[in-house]
Copies of this chain bind each other. A is one copy, B any other.
Amino acid sequence: MSDFVFDHLRAERTGIPEAVLASGKSVEQIAAIAANVLDTGASLFVTRLAPDKAAALGHFGAALHYHPGSATAVFSAAPPPEPDTRGAAVVAAGTSDLSVAREAVQTLRYLGIGSRLIVDVGVAGLWRLLDRVEDIRAEPVVIAVAGMEGALFSVLAGLVDAPVIAVPTSVGYGVAEGGRAALSSALASCAPGVLTVNIDNGYGAAVSAVKILRVARHRQSG
């Protein structure tokens, strides 16, 4: 564990602090990394932290801020501050896509960006989506979260002028198993302006959204 090298420089270089994907790591490995980071006075964002692993990390006490609905956690001495600006619409096709959508929401929040979460707008019931279009258009960046056939990505991209970041989810069975059908739909979309991240990667979508919003901030101040 003593081999671990936290990339403090990356935050400076890319503007995004490093995060840790818990799913492939043992509780001991996560604890060692978190302790290491807390010692430097920094905070650590963790994704895919299953409830039993979170419980096993209970000795971190108030320094561990766990959010079960998204399976994310923040290790930090002080509670993470509330974001003061809003910047993204996170649009999920169905209830089963919620945990991935919430991973995006929590990541945005950790990075200082508030978001609007809109759920159950799958294209099979088109009016539910059309009813929410104005809300979605109000945000400069859209994160769309969908499994199954992923038709939501193309429909959304035809309705808004914001960049659409597609997060295919592993929700589905048969040909949709593991999220491959939704992934193909995102990449092959007939609507230009769809950008894709890996299956279930709500974290990556949120980081990209923040980078996009920083283009704006950079330009404003530039």
What is A's interface to B at a CB cutoff of 8 Å? 1, 3-7, 9-10, 13-16, 18-19, 21, 23-25, 29, 33, 93-96, 98, 117-128, 140-141, 147-151, 153-155, 157-163, 165, 168, 170-201, 203-204, 207-208, 211-220
Contact = CB atoms under 8 A, between A and B. Distances in A.
A123 B158 contact: yes
Q: What is the oligomeric copy number? A: 8
B216 A171 contact: no
27 contacts: A1-B95, A3-B95, A6-B120, A7-B120, A16-B192, A24-B95, A24-B147, A24-B171, A29-B95, A93-B190, A124-B190, A126-B155, A149-B150, A149-B186, A149-B190, A161-B211, A162-B211, A163-B215, A168-B174, A174-B188, A181-B184, A181-B188, A189-B198, A192-B208, A195-B195, A215-B215, A220-B220
B161 A214 contact: yes
A28 to B, nearest CB: 10
Nearest to A128: B5
Most B Cβ at <10 Å: residue of A23, A216, A219: A216
Given A126-B155, A155-B151, A204 B192 contact: yes
Contacts of A153: 149, 151
A118 B185 CA distance: 23
Contacts of A219: 140, 213, 216-217, 219-220
